[in-house]
Amino acid sequence: MELHPVEAVAPGLAARIAGAEPGRARTFAFRAARLACAVTNVQDANALEVARGGLQRYPEIDELVQLWDLERELDAACERELEAASSDLYAPSLENLQQPSECVEARAVAAVIAALSPDARDAARGATYEALAAGCDGRTLEELADQIF
């Protein structure tokens, strides 16, 4: 069985997510996404609305497409920035991803998208990993988990 990347960077948090009730895992996913958006100062209204609203108002298909397009655009800008700074594009570390603003914003948008995953625990794992990649402090995510789990 393949490990989720969050299990490598935050194994304690990943274990807490694995043992969480699906509803609480989903809540955590959206709170992690909101935190990532706040930390990176995401300005995209669609991403902010989805992160804030959670599943209370599931986004329409065109809103999801806009989020995916935004993430792709930011990822492309991030790759260009990383390419200019380093030749190691194949496996950039969390630290490298946190350097250019396009990279951290892309990860925050990815956290919002991850929070929408059909499986609540996968959503929480994905949003957590992306939040960490966006520069969220692991201790802050642990405190958030303490409130929810």
Instruction: Find out whether 17 and 28 touch, Cβ atoms under 8 Å.
Output: yes
pLDDT digits (tens, 9 = 90+) for 4-39: 778 777 888 999 999 999 999 999 999 999 999 999
Neighbouring C-alpha atoms within 13 Å toward the C-beta of 10 = 25
Q: Dihedral of CA 16/20/24/25: which sign?
A: positive
Q: For 129-144, how does the pLDDT look when each residue is reduced to its tens digit (9 = 90+)?
A: 999 999 999 999 999 9
> Tens digit of pLDDT for each residue in 57-87?
777 888 889 999 999 999 998 888 777 766 5
Q: Which of 65, 35, 50, 72 is nearest to 116 (CA)?
A: 50
Q: Where are the domains of the chain?
A: 5-148
pTM: 0.83
